[in-house]
Amino acid sequence: MVNERSGRAALAELVTSRSVLVCVGSGGVGKTSMAAALALEAARRGRRTIVVTIDPARRLADALGLERLGGEPLPITELIAASSGLRSGSSPTGSLHALMLDAKATFDDLVTRHATDRAQAERILANRFYHSISTTLSGTQEYMAAEKLGELHTSGRFDLIVVDTPPTRQALDFLDAPGQLARFLDHPAYRLMTGSGSAVSRVAGAAGKRLLRAAARLVGSVALDDAVEFFRAFEGLEAGFLTRALAVRDLLVSAQTGFVVVTSARPEPIAEAGYFLDRLAAQDIPVDAIVANRMTPRFTRLTAAELRRIAAAQDAGGDQVLRTGLAELIELTAAAEAEERALAPLHTGRAIPFQQGPFQQGPFQQVPFQQVPFQQVPLLDHDVHDLGGLEQLRQSAFDD
């Protein structure tokens, strides 16, 4: 099951047939780079593609060699065409856009669009509590990612949306966004603040007031007033938020969406990959491919041990250049061997023992790894920070 061919074929199937692809994995493994490479391949195959990053970092812009990226789709087809012959590919209809989620702008836009009138929109936008949650609240990023994804999907402008997630376990929180929103809106404390829910809250009135007073002592009365005012102003908008969040959740769990777990060949990121597999399995979402990125290239079939013996046999006064090169080859081969060992659990599907790596987090691997299509991508001799580099990454993943 685990072979390069099935991995390549799976990736090809994903970029040609899905509507949404989500890249997850731990930090530094190459999620953003791979997301861009997948999008590039889809565009080359003639699809109207957009790559969206919900990581507030600038990395996607960097990987594409762009100065900056904003919250609106930026067309980069022409740029790509110049460096990778996009237009000369099999189909002339493909295109590529890129976008970096701007949570605040997305939120503002939603409020403006869905408010019943200008006055309501203005009340919300001017509220200090709103201002803070829309800029700094953790969680807002995930909600807005879901909103943006839904918006891009329903706009019909794109055949494929590739989503690059932040390097945290919260990366998948947007799957829970509707549930959390529903729970929040149904929350006694929320109803306490908005004064809705009538009968129940009137009964709980006295106790409720005491709690609110305590909260006011904590965060200050002004802040609490702001919060209460925000929730009141927001009334009537919740239903729409919930409906859209549910629609996005349906899209994400449907067969239209593919999940790609990116990892590097080290014990810790592989354990993290296991966490993502479990997390997705818990929501009945299958992982469609695992990409092991940054694999040290093998230049020889000899083992590091054999190479060391050969090096030892070289006479000390021999060719300096050869000795340096051999030392390099030994180091690279040893690294490749360590990576092979780290990848073993992917091949056997066995749980990784706790002690294996210093930062191992315990066995998560309930999902058999070996049933997931697997693709290795080599470590390139340069970072991926321009279109040329990205094209090389794409070739390593897709071309034989």
Ligand X SMILES: Nc1ncnc2c1ncn2[C@@H]1O[C@H](COP(=O)(O)OP(=O)(O)O)[C@@H](O)[C@H]1O
Using CB under 6 A as the binding rule, the residues of this chain from 256 to 295 that contact ligand X are 266, 268-269, 293-294
Cα–Cα distances (Å) from 10 to 16, 38, 181, 381, in that order, read 10, 12, 34, 26
Residue whose token pair is 């239209």: 256
Is residue 264 within the footprint of Mg ion (CB under 5 A)?
Answer: no
Structure tokens at 270: 């592989």
Cα 322 from Cα 194, distance rounded (Å): 76
Is residue 9 within the footprint of other proteins (CB under 8 A)?
Answer: no
Cα–Cα distances (Å) from 207 to 191, 198, 229, 249, in that order, read 14, 15, 20, 37
Query: In the range 23-62, which residues lie near other proteins by CB under 8 A?
Result: 26-29, 55-59, 62
Query: In the range 342-381, which residues lie near other proteins by CB under 8 A?
Result: 342, 354-355, 357-362, 381
In contact, 164 and 23? CB cutoff 8 Å: yes
Q: Among the candidate windows 28-36, 112-120, 121-129, 286-294, which touches Mg ion by CB under 5 A?
A: 28-36
User: Could you say which of 310, 344, 353, 368 contacts other proteins (CB under 8 A)?
Assistant: 310
Structure tokens at 54: 């919900």
What does DSSP assign to residue 46? T
- Percentages helix, strand, coil for the chain, rounded to the nearest 5? 60, 10, 30
User: Could you say which of 329, 384, 387, 390 contacts ligand X (CB under 6 A)?
Assistant: 384
Is residue 128 within the footprint of other proteins (CB under 8 A)?
Answer: yes
Is residue 321 within the footprint of other proteins (CB under 8 A)?
Answer: yes
The 3-state DSSP class for residue 262 equals strand
CA angle 42, 47, 48 (to 5 degrees): 110
Q: Which residues contact 97 (CB under 8 A, 6 or more apart)?
A: 49, 50, 51, 73, 74, 75, 76, 77, 158
Is residue 154 within the footprint of other proteins (CB under 8 A)?
Answer: no
Binding mask 364-383 for ligand X (x = CB under 6 A): -------------x-xx--x
Which of ligand X, Mg ion, other proteins, none is residue 393 near (CB under 5 to 8 Å by kind)?
ligand X
Which of Mg ion, other proteins, ligand X, none is residue 294 near (CB under 5 to 8 Å by kind)?
ligand X
Is residue 70 within the footprint of other proteins (CB under 8 A)?
Answer: no
User: Could you say which of 7, 167, 208, 345 contacts ligand X (CB under 6 A)?
Assistant: 167
Instruction: Considering the complex, state which of residue 168 and residue 366 has its C-beta at the smaller distance from ligand X.
Output: 168
Is residue 257 within the footprint of Mg ion (CB under 5 A)?
Answer: no
Is residue 32 within the footprint of Mg ion (CB under 5 A)?
Answer: yes
Query: In the range 47-66, which residues lie near Mg ion by CB under 5 A?
Result: 55, 59
Cα 268 from Cα 258, distance rounded (Å): 24
Residues that bind ligand X (CB under 6 A): 25, 27-33, 59, 63, 167, 266, 268-269, 293-294, 359, 377, 379-380, 383-385, 393
